[in-house]
Amino acid sequence: MANAITRFSGSMLFVYVHLALVVGWIAVNAGLIPSIAPFDPSFVILATVASVEAIFLSTFVLISQNRAAAEADRRAELDLQTNLLSEHEITRLLSLTIAIAARLGVEEAQDPSLKELQKHVAPEKVLDRIAEDENGNGA
């Protein structure tokens, strides 16, 4: 419901409806429409309604933003899991490729930089490092 209200309140239709209501309210209460008796000549009710509406609208916007942030966090977690799985698979493929190259006598199979790439990435260490960086404790 909060998302629907936020979506509507962010539309031009919302602006036009409010413009019409406020102009009508002012016209009636300023005495510009003689057939309707003014009911809020000092515009206190209009100010109160606008203030209450602003409170509710800002609350709905905050609720929508919190939901969007939670959804973004879930997507980021899924991305991390997918990336860690891909890293594991690529590391395994590299190990197999190096083993095949060594068996075939390919010199590049002895390259020291390949040994570094073969190291297993521990997801726990990656997550701990991310948490440290988020908390400002990272180097």
Give the domain extent around 34.
Answer: 2-134
* pTM listed for this prediction: 0.63
The pLDDT > 90 percentage for the chain reads 53
Rounded CA gap, 78 and 80, in Å? 5
Distances in Å between the Cα of 27 and the Cα atoms of 2, 31, 48, 55, 119 are 32, 6, 18, 25, 75
> Quick check: is 139 in a domain?
no
Rounded CA gap, 41 and 54, in Å? 22
> Quick check: is 68 in a domain?
yes
What's the pLDDT band for 138 if we cut at 50, 70, 90? low
Residue range 26-39: mean pLDDT, rounded: 96
Which residue type sits at 100?
I
For the chain, what is the domain count?
1
pLDDT score of 139 more than 60: no
What do you get for the CA distance between the two ends of the chain, in Å? 43
What's the pLDDT band for 2 if we cut at 50, 70, 90? confident
Residue range 34-50: mean pLDDT, rounded: 96
